[in-house]
Structures are given as structure tokens and as C-alpha cells.
């Protein structure tokens, strides 16, 4: 099992550009999550999904959109990137007692 994978690993954007981060899991988990982590801080929840076709807002959803068209994939979109969105983005999935995290995507917005 690959677990949770994220694509891409690194990306540099210019202000106003758009992009999509892809998260995939092969553990058949219902729940999936997108977090961001800024330097010296803990993770903050952006959006999450409790199953295919469902999404919900987390703690810091503004400026992001998500989609869960397939159970194994959870996409995070930035329609118009801003420097404040420079961060490391982590995807996770969960089943019962624990969350499984991906390796992260380091995004820089210039």
C-alpha cells in the first residue's frame, strides 16, 4: 500500500495563478482532510470530506475549494493564489482511531 500520496511535492506560483493539489489514498478511507502548516505552527484544517461527493469547511477555508468526486481522491484548489497561501499543505485520511498523513506539498506564492 502506498498510503496517502500528494502531488506535486513542490510548486512555485505567481500571485493570481491557480493550481490544484491532488491527494490520493489507497486504504478505502471514508474521511479525508486538507491542512496547512505555516512555519513554527501546528496544522490548521482547511476543508474535509466525510465521504465521496461530500465536502465541509474547516478552520481556514477562505481562498480554497475542494472536490471529492472519487472516494480515493481529494483535490484542493487555489483559484487565485496569494502570498498568504505560501505554506506546506498536508493531506490526510482516517478510519476509526487514527489519521494517516501524506508527505506534504510545499507551495510558495510570489
Partner 1 sequence: DAKTTQPNSMESNEEEPVHLPCNHSTISGTDYIHWYRQLPSQGPEYVIHGLTSNVNNRMASLAIAEDRKSSTLILHRATLRDAAVYYCILSQTASKLTFGTGTRLQVTL
Closer by beta carbon to partner 1, 11 or else 17 = 11
User: Closest approach of Cβ 84 to partner 1, in Å?
Assistant: 19
Nearer to partner 1, 17 or 31 (CB): 31
Residue ranges binding partner 1 (CB under 8 A): 4, 31, 35, 40-45, 48, 50, 59, 90, 92, 94, 96-104
Burial class (CB in 10 A: 0-12, 13-18, 19+), 25: buried
Amino acid at each position: 500500500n502506498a498510503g496517502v500520496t500528494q502531488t506535486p511535492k513542490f510548486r512555485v506560483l505567481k500571485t493570481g495563478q491557480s493550481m490544484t493539489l491532488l491527494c490520493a489514498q489507497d486504504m478505502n478511507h471514508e474521511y479525508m482532510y486538507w491542512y496547512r502548516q505555516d512555519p513554527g505552527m501546528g496544522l490548521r484544517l482547511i476543508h474535509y470530506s466525510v465521504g465521496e461527493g461530500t465536502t465541509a469547511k474547516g478552520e481556514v477555508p477562505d481562498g480554497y475549494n475542494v472536490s471529492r468526486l472519487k472516494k480515493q481522491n481529494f483535490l484542493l484548489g487555489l483559484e487565485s493564489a496569494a502570498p498568504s497561501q505560501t505554506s506546506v499543505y498536508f493531506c490526510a485520511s482516517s478510519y476509526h482511531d487514527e489519521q494517516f498523513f501524506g508527505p506534504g506539498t510545499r507551495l510558495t506564492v510570489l
